Amino acid sequence: MNKPLADRIRPTTIDDVVGQQHILGKGKILRNIIESGKIPNMIFYGLSGTGKTTVANIAANTSHKALYRLNATNASVADVKAIVKESEGLLGQDGVLLYLDEIQNFNKKQQQSLLEYTENGRITLIASTTENPYFCVYNAILSRSTVFEFKALLPEDIEHALKRALDILQKEDFPKNKLIVEDGVLRHMAEKSGGDLRKALNALELAANYTIPDEKNQICLTMETAQQCTQKKVFQYDKDGDSHYDILSAFQKSIRGSDPDAAVHYLARLIAADDIQSICRRLMVIACEDVGLAYPSAITIVKACVDSALMLGFPEARIPLAQAVILLATAPKSNASYMAINSALYDLEHIDTGTIPRQLQNKHYDGEGNVEKGQNYLYPHDYPNHYVPQQYLPDKIRDKIYYVPGNNKQEQAAKEYWDKIKKK
């Protein structure tokens, strides 16, 4: 059975690895580590198809250690122990390098089992994960490892690799045919892969294998063929992973920054991922956190758009969602209420705020032992403008200011009104 193209094109030297120049370029730390042959415990973190397995293979070769591979999705502690036992023989005389893929699928106890062997040097661990290791990898392993982030590949990096793959296909799979590729085909595949080289290679292999040769025995890879093999652009999106939170973060920050174009772009990404719940939840938060009192009606309008979207479902839901996004992005901004409640909660956690003033307590009668008689609460509606000066905060924080009006028309108008009433 022929090996997949992605395996056949796998580089054996650092110079052949595409992308990741921030860690593999000349003089960069990971490159220096690999070239030294002295491999420490490492964690490779990044999206699929960005070269983590390839670099681990190269590291193992330069270290001259016996390489073992496990995938945490279906491996167990027993598999790790079996590798340790094998390392006691001739194969492990120079040490063992264990490449553990998808380490996030090992629970805490399973990850802890690795510590004993990494600490005594029986195993050098290179673990990979598509999720943030600071959230999914046990702290003791993190503290004993160096973390390297593998970034999504650029289209030009992927296109370069596709050209090498095309040569391999021509020599190994189609020696009697001539592969002809229309201009733009490889670039199209690269751009549709979402930074995942493996996806692009699979598309190229699919196109080559299932395109019927013409009368000249030529296999012509056209743009139409490329479009059929790639179908929909790949989005690196995992509802429980980093890409999910990165897009949501960019979404909210674009709205907060009053950039409707960027906000609609990130909305489109979320829609492409069919993540309506996250969109709706985040819009409700933004309406209160970032627009807030500068446009108090925003939450009402956004709630109506959200309800409509949930009732309609995709694809029609994109319309009220876009309306809500553009409304929030172009609305005046205030985080005054957000800052006020955060400040109040901070004080509750960190300082003694004292007791509620007597006039605000729910006092209906005074016991015999009470020196102070009467609640002395002043009912504001009995006074002009429904206001009367009165202490509401506890004594210990009586002069504390939590709410600072934002510099917008709505809040400034309210401030002007109350400054006049309170005669400040």
Would residue 50 count as lying in a domain? yes
The CATH number given to whatever domain includes residue 292 is 1.20.272.10
Cα distances from 234 to residues 153, 191, 199, in angstroms, run 13, 9, 8
Q: Is the same domain home to 277 and 322?
A: yes
Would residue 5 count as lying in a domain? no
Would residue 2 count as lying in a domain? no
Cα distances from 10 to residues 23, 55, 63, in angstroms, run 18, 10, 18
* Amino acid 308: pLDDT: 94
Burial code (b: 16+ CB inside 10 Å, e: under 16) for 259-298 equals: ebebbbebbebbbebebbebbbebbeebbbbbbbbbbeeb
* Amino acid 1: pLDDT: 44
Q: Is the same domain home to 43 and 59?
A: yes
The CATH number given to whatever domain includes residue 51 is 3.40.50.300
Q: Where is 155: in which H helix or E strand?
A: helix 155-168
Q: Would you state the structure tokens that stand for residue 366, as one six-digit string?
A: 């005074």
Name residue, tokens 């670039």.
Answer: 187
Contacts of 389 (CB under 8 A, 6+ apart): 422
Q: Is the same domain home to 286 and 177?
A: no
* Amino acid 235: pLDDT: 54
Q: Is the same domain home to 145 and 262?
A: no
The CATH number given to whatever domain includes residue 182 is 1.10.8.60
Amino acid at 218: Q
Q: Is the same domain home to 200 and 181?
A: yes
Using N-to-C axis directions, what is the helix angle for 318-330 and 260-272, rounded to 10°?
150
Q: Is the same domain home to 56 and 138?
A: yes
Q: Is the same domain home to 223 and 252?
A: no
What residue numbers bound the domain in which 59 lies? 20-150
Contacts of 73 (CB under 8 A, 6+ apart): 101, 102, 105
* Amino acid 24: pLDDT: 93
Would residue 63 count as lying in a domain? yes
Would residue 6 count as lying in a domain? no
Among the three residues 230, 263, 296, which one is the final residue of a domain in this structure?
230
Would residue 13 count as lying in a domain? no
Q: Is the same domain home to 160 and 146?
A: no
Q: Say how far residue 27 (Cα) sits from the centre of its chain.
A: 29
* Amino acid 131: pLDDT: 82
Domains contained in the chain, number: 4
CA distance 50 to 48: 6
Cis peptide before 11 (omega within 30 of 0): no
Kindly give the residue spans of alpha helices, DSSP state H, lying in 177-297. 185-192, 197-209, 223-230, 242-256, 260-272, 276-286
CA distance 22 to 14: 13
Would residue 8 count as lying in a domain? no
Among the three residues 182, 207, 230, which one is the final residue of a domain in this structure?
230
Q: Is the same domain home to 39 and 142?
A: yes
Q: Is the same domain home to 100 and 188?
A: no
Q: Is the same domain home to 319 and 362?
A: no
CA distance 144 to 244: 28
Quick: pLDDT tens for 38-90.
999 999 998 888 889 899 989 988 888 888 899 988 888 888 888 888 777 65
CA distance 84 to 122: 7
The total number of residues written for the chain in this structure: 424
Q: What is the DSSP string of 286-334?
A: HIIIIIGGGSTTHHHHHHHHHHHHHHH-TTTTHHHHHHHHHHHHHS---
The CATH number given to whatever domain includes residue 406 is 1.10.3710.10
Would residue 121 count as lying in a domain? yes
Q: Is the same domain home to 353 and 372?
A: yes
CA distance 15 to 153: 15
pLDDT averaged over 10-residue windows placed end to end, the chain, 424 residues:
79 90 92 92 89 90 87 88 76 76 88 85 87 85 91 89 91 86 91 86 90 87 88 55 78 94 93 87 95 95 94 90 95 94 92 86 60 73 90 90 92 91 79
Among the three residues 129, 150, 171, which one is the final residue of a domain in this structure?
150
